[in-house]
A and B are shown apart, each in its own frame.
Chain A
Amino acid sequence: MTLTAVLLLGAFHGLNPAMGWLFAVARGLQERSLDRLLQSIPVIALGHLASVALVALVVAATGSLVTGSVLAIGGGVVLVGFGLWRLLSRRHFRWVGMRLSLWQLTCWSFLMSSAHGAGLMLLPVFTGLQAQGHAGHAASGGLGVAALHTLAMFGVAGTIAVVVYQVAGLTVLRRAWFNVDRMWALALVVAGVITLAQV
């Protein structure tokens, strides 16, 4: 069940144009090069992984200091608050500039994922791991979860990028780009509630 959730959340993150596949497509189109697109996806996934893994490590470190229920309650409250803020705020992430090196693209992806709370969405899983075992296992387990999650994200983002680049074309954006941000914010709130329910 947890594994499925981790993979599904990864797929959900991969699906979001704002999380990177659209940037990869734009980079490919700019130079009419599928190679450039394919180079972009792994570094975007790397940035995403860093963002998610950071949350996993923070949870593991915090979990070794406090009792399980404090962690879950604190995490859940943070998550619900962040989700509501995402839902109500009109602010959006800004990165000025389109010409990025692959390294800068990784940083962009890390910031984009962090600003959207990608790692936070996995809090129920991380705190769940914490409740089950001792600190060392929670850290390695968390990193494993982050890696699996990112793998799913990578697969979905890569597939969409290639399909849009090769077949569908960008006009699909005009119809299919539903407001992921709003759904995303709701998902954060739901994840927060689940975290609290674990207590």
Chain B
Amino acid sequence: MTLWTPDPTFYPSPRDAAGAPAEKLAYVAAFDRSCARPDALAVIDTDPSSSAYGTVVGWTDLPGTGDELHHFGWNACSSALCPNAPHPHVERRYLVVPGLRSSRIHIFDTKDRISPELVKVIEAETLARRAGYSRPHTVHCGPEGLYVSALGGADGRDGPGGIAVLDHTSFEVLGQWELDRGPQYLAYDFWWHINQDVLISSEWGTPSMIEDGLVGELLLGRKYGHKLHFWDLRKRSHVQEVDLGDEHQMPLELRPAHDPTRMYGFAGVVVSVEDLSASVWTWFHQDGRWQARKVISIPAEPADPDRLPPVLQPFGAVPPLVSDIDLSVDDQRLYVSCWGTGEIKQYDVSDPFKPVELASLRVGGIAHRNPHPADPALPLRGGPQMVEVSRDGRRVYLTNSLYGAWDDQFYPDGVGAWMAKIDTDSFTFDTRFFPHGDDFRGLRPHQVRLQGGDASSDSYCYP
């Protein structure tokens, strides 16, 4: 596991990473909603010169059932080159794959094989005993080890959610990251401004608020998360919370600028309870405190109630439901997925306070069920959900499932299963790349990770 020269997928700066070779494989977390069969990691061929391009070429079942795979990450990334604790001769080799429902964390080896191989399982009890958490979610490779956010507490406690730290190499759970969590209770995503020792976290809900579906009373009562939290990464303590306003329910994905000299980032908010719009916010540090400003607002689209699921019929409109955003490695383009309306939008964010919409594509959607150009006769359910951008920024990958119980509410006829790829120069779907339906063997595809890293996997210590 020790190399003589740094892992070739580690890059000192985002500029260097943008020159990385194209990925040849994509790993997709896929889960079985019925919990009858194991979830799986599906491996997709992304090499256009390969005869298997755009098809599922590898598959690894999980050892158990009912994991509900969601997000996952690498054991090591470009932060291994950071000068304060360098360890560049480890390999980007293992995928750390949490089960959001089972609370088990799985470690898969990807080296010299197409289908990843399971090497370790961290049981829910271990995570609970050592870190006091359950429902592990986002994974980032960071200064003290692997950081894994978790939505729930342990031993029957619903919360608080927070971050557990795992050892880089042994994958042992080292403990709870927070020393002083201040007012923070809800958890979801997190990332950092690594050179400024700042960690940012967002809020979704506790397990009881999400696991049986979106709870209307909680949403209208504005009980889901609506704050961003800023932390001292070194002291592990809460510094400041920024309330986006309680009408802005569920700030989920956090995308800080990759340029380590810049202190801003973007947060996507799923829905406003005032008008069902979705929004994107820019956070920044000014006048000695953290602030956030709404920079993108995407309105709901009126629709015939007959075409709507029960949860939306009273409103006669489809909310965009921005469930994921992704920032290109050069910090120039922001991609925003509208899972409700079935749209993916591309923004120029060279000025992070004035995004300019450049292009948009429609696929799926609650009311429209737009087809993919590779199969124009096939109406699609689900919408662009997880977005992943290649390191060079030229390709964007999408999957269509959000979260089991929520898929069922918004797409009660079944969310289906599909994955798509967009070429960003022309901003068109690649008609050669459309794994869907039975390709996923009845499972629902969720997050995508690209071989060698992608726009949401690595942090860089040098500009």
Contacts and interface: CB of A to CB of B under 8 A. Distances in A.
Contacts of A175: 5
B260 interface: yes
Interface residues of B, number: 35
A92 B85 contact: yes
B396 to A, nearest CB: 26
B84 A97 contact: yes
A171 B84 CA distance: 18
A98 B459 CA distance: 13
21 contacts: A26-B462, A29-B261, A29-B462, A31-B261, A90-B1, A92-B87, A93-B85, A96-B85, A96-B197, A97-B84, A97-B197, A97-B233, A98-B82, A98-B83, A170-B12, A174-B8, A174-B10, A174-B11, A177-B5, A177-B6, A182-B2
Contact of A179 (B2, B8, B196, B234): B2
Interface size band for A = 20 to 34
B81 A96 contact: no
Contact of B195 (A30, A90, A177, A178): A30
Interface string A163-195: 000000011011101110110000000000000
B86 interface: yes
B461 A26 contact: yes
Interface string B417-456: 0000000000000000000000000000000000000000
B89 A181 contact: yes
Query: Which of A23, A174, A182 counts the most chain B CB atoms within 10 A?
Result: A174
Given A94-B143, A96-B233, A173 B4 contact: no
Contacts of A94: 85, 143-144
Given A96-B144, A97-B84, A179-B3, 4 more contacts: A99-B195, A170-B462, A177-B88, A178-B4
Contact of A99 (B16, B197, B261): B197
B197 A30 contact: no
B169 interface: yes
Interface in B348-404: none
A179 B87 CA distance: 9
A95 B85 contact: yes
Contact of A171 (B16, B87, B194): B16
For chain A, what secondary structure do more than half of its interface residues adopt (helix, strand, loop), or is it mixed? loop
Interface of B: 1-6, 8, 10-13, 16, 81-89, 143-144, 169, 194-197, 233-234, 260-261, 461-463
A25 interface: yes
A123 interface: no
Contacts of B169: 90-91
Contacts of B83: 17, 22-23, 25-26, 98
A22 B5 CA distance: 16
B234 A97 contact: yes
Q: Which 9 residue pairs across A and B have the least CB separation, nearest first?
A: A97-B234, A23-B83, A170-B12, A22-B83, A92-B87, A94-B85, A26-B83, A98-B195, A90-B169
A179 B82 CA distance: 15
